[in-house]
Structure 1
Amino acid sequence: MPSWAELPIGRVVRLDADPDAVALALDPLPDDAPAVVTYFAAEERSVADLAASVLRELDKAAIALFPAWLPGAEGIEGPSGMNVAAVQALARGRASVTGHFGPFLAELARRALTGGPSGLAPEVRAAGLVRVLADSFGRARLAILVRVPDELGTAAREVLVAGCEWLAHRGRAGVWLAGAPLDDDRVRTVPVPLPAAFDGAGEAVPVPVTFDGGGNAVPVPATADQAPAVAYPPVAGRPHPGSASERALEAALSSRAWAGGRAWNQTYRPGPLAVPIRVDLLWERERCVVEIDGPEHRAPAKFAADRQRDVLLQLDGYAVLRFSDGQVLTDMDTVVRQIGQFLRNRRRAEG
């Protein structure tokens, strides 16, 4: 069984594992893994269309992760000329001492503040975005986990493989396909270093429902948080920029004096040989963990993994407070009040 470090970079392979099991094994990122972003493939008419779609989504991720990839730009916000000049100078300085392409990094830094499309060639953007995204997570390499849907026809599968080959070669990224089989001789299948605990992951996520005025169950409409085109890990110390619920909770907590000492998206290891656990929000002194669950947490494998990690945290003396992202977004006052009540009670108990 290979390690994550041994999976190919710069080429397209198919992972011999269920994509949901892979996702569980990569949260948090193992020490030997590249940074991994997930692209949810859809049918595209041509290789150019596929490349444009992937680059557009990787670009959104890079902009959202700013300033994780540009040291020194923390606290620089807003599109003023002074701010733009400052981040571009930082970008050029960083490019001069790293392998980044200066014009690309300077343009990306500017657009992180001002918005707007890139004017650079797709080949330049592919290489630049791969390196920026790897940097965001402190990794030297990036892999793109492409989740292949079941409904792709023969022509669409050919477009997908060709587009992924373009991305692997131009971006020097690993492109790992998972999901529906492709029946393509160009793509080698490779084993994946999955812990035994993740065997059997992959049951479908139940469709969330609500109830109409007549008491009938109706599907909850998908939101951008529920069905992103690209998913990527959080950066330690920050709410996930792709999570509206994490960002909203941080905004609500930022004005509460009692909420001091919190840390977002930390990795906790229950023991020297234990699998590490990433927690959404942590008060370490009070030994309090807050988890915000999206619809993917209803999948049986994810649900079971959540319960297991909760037990490990509780055995180490942590309380785990779980809220759905719907609760956070629609009943923030209750969520904040309950977190505050727990923290105050624990502080009183500790004297």
Structure 2
Amino acid sequence: MDEGVTTEVEAALRPGHVLRAEDITGTAIDDLVDEISPRLPVFLDHRGPDERTARSVTTEVLDALEQILLDLFPTWLDGEPGQLLDVDEAVYAARELCHREGLVTGVVLDLARAAASRSAPRRTQAPELRAAGLMGLVRHAYRRSAVVLAVRASAEMSTASQRAAAAAYEWLAEHGHVTVWLTSDALPLIDRIPIVRLGLGITDRAGEEPGGRAAASDQPVLLVSRPVGAPCPNSRAEQALEAALARRGWARDRIWNRRPADLDPLAPAVVVDLLWTAQRVIVEVDGADHRRADKYASDRARDNMLQRHAYMILRYTNEQVLTDADLVADELRDILAARSASASAHRPTQLEENTWTTRS
């Protein structure tokens, strides 16, 4: 995402407010969530309310956000993905974090204790404190100063449900100190919401359904920006593969969700799911959307570009990883070992290097 687009996004950041982003569609939200630019806010993509009360909408968002943070643990305590912390270590680190960053102590301690003990959070804080604490911890986890809750919803909701949803998003904006963006067609009967245009220039993909819960039934109700250096909390498959790799010493040099550093600077920006730099091995974990024609074509073009830079690209479906993550991990072990051996075999010996230097 270029600097001009980022500037447009920054101009529409108004923490505590709900805005209608007139030119934002589900496609644009998908692309923003997939970005890893540190200049962008953290994007939370809510897949839309249905016929429910305001309280149930806010509870759904906060519960889903809590689960995202549990999946990101212990990275927000400055730990490595897959690192094991006992409860005392996690609570001590959480206290230090709250003291240093001014976060809501009760919320952060509750999450740290639950994550380390693999138990359910107690949720003893008032909803207002919970909203402030969870959103603050998201900002810290991503090292970004702003959060945008982007909302796509069916335009066919009843008037009462649209009013309830609007009240819920206004509450979340105020108490979470975030900006809420409604897509152009979300909650159309609510006319008190200011309109902004972002000028992103993203158009809907052919054949894609409008935003809303029905159009994304295979996705979690709340997605979050792709994290740098950690498996995506939106992806059960990435989480399962990380759990399998964390137990294996040979996998320690893995890097999640990064851009390879040695690509042509004029080439389109590429973020890969999993990378071993030394062996030049890239692993992509593909959801069902990668079977879509435009996504398939984009993947092939990306793979070709990466292969020209001597990367090996391995693609696994979500189903393959979730069915047997250990089998996938074992295959990766064998491939990495073979790549390392091949690189060693082709590396010049000291004598060869000296001979080449003499000839030069």
Q: Which residue of 1 aligns with 2:212?
A: none
Structure 2: distance between partners of 1:67 and 1:254: 13
Q: Which residue of 2 aligns with 1:208?
A: none
1:5 aligned onto 2:10: yes
CA contact (8 A) 2:32 2:43 kept: no
**1:109 is matched with which residue: 108, 112, 117?**
112
Structure 2: distance between partners of 1:250 and 1:162: 38
**1:132 is matched with which residue: 132, 137, 141?**
137
CA contact (8 A) 2:257 2:273 kept: yes
Cα 1:155–1:101 change in 2 (3 A) is: same
Q: Which residue of 2 aligns with 1:199?
A: 203
1:91 aligned onto 2:94: yes
Structure 2: distance between partners of 1:256 and 1:340: 9
For residues 262-299 of structure 1, the C-alpha deviation after alignment (integer angstroms, 9 at most, x for no partner) is: 22222236343544322111111222211010112234
Q: Which residue of 1 aligns with 2:150?
A: 145
1:190 aligned onto 2:199: no
Q: Which residue of 2 aligns with 1:216?
A: none
Structure 1: distance between partners of 2:315 and 2:142: 26
Structure 1: distance between partners of 2:37 and 2:80: 27
Q: Which residue of 1 aligns with 2:349?
A: none
Aligned pairs (5 A) from 1:152-301: 152-178=157-183, 180-183=185-188, 184-192=190-198, 194=200, 198-201=202-205, 203-204=207-208, 226-254=218-246, 259=251, 261-268=253-260, 270-301=263-294
Supply the AA of the counterpart residue of 2:223.
Answer: A
Q: TM-score, normalised by structure 1?
A: 0.81
**1:70 is matched with which residue: 61, 71, 77?**
77
1:6 deviates by: 2.0
1:23 deviates by: 1.3
Supply the AA of the counterpart residue of 1:77.
Answer: L
Structure 2: distance between partners of 1:112 and 1:259: 23
Which secondary structure state, in structure 2, belongs to the residue aligned with residue 231 of structure 1? strand
Structure 1: distance between partners of 2:113 and 2:98: 14
1:324 aligned onto 2:331: no
Structure 1: distance between partners of 2:299 and 2:24: 20
1:305 deviates by: 3.5
Identify, as 1 or 2, the structure richer in strand. 1
1:17 aligned onto 2:24: yes
Supply the AA of the counterpart residue of 2:35.
Answer: P
1:48 aligned onto 2:55: yes
What runs of 5+ residues in structure 2 fail to find an aligned partner?
210-215, 346-360
**1:32 is matched with which residue: 29, 35, 39?**
39
What runs of 5+ residues in structure 1 fail to find an aligned partner?
206-222
For residues 207-234 of structure 1, the C-alpha deviation after alignment (integer angstroms, 9 at most, x for no partner) is: xxxxxxxxxxxxxxxx99x321211234
RMSD of aligned alpha carbons: 3.0
Structure 2: distance between partners of 1:31 and 1:70: 19
Q: TM-score, normalised by structure 2?
A: 0.79
1:258 deviates by: 5.4
* Larger CA deviation: 337-346 vs 122-131: 337-346
CA contact (8 A) 1:280 1:290 kept: yes
Q: Which residue of 1 aligns with 2:356?
A: none
Which secondary structure state, in structure 2, belongs to the residue aligned with residue 69 of structure 1? helix
Cα 1:273–1:137 change in 2 (3 A) is: farther
Which secondary structure state, in structure 2, belongs to the residue aligned with residue 323 of structure 1? strand
* Larger CA deviation: 277-286 vs 311-320: 311-320
CA contact (8 A) 1:3 1:193 kept: yes
1:125 deviates by: 0.8
Cα 1:128–1:284 change in 2 (3 A) is: same
1:257 deviates by: 6.1
CA contact (8 A) 1:239 1:246 kept: yes
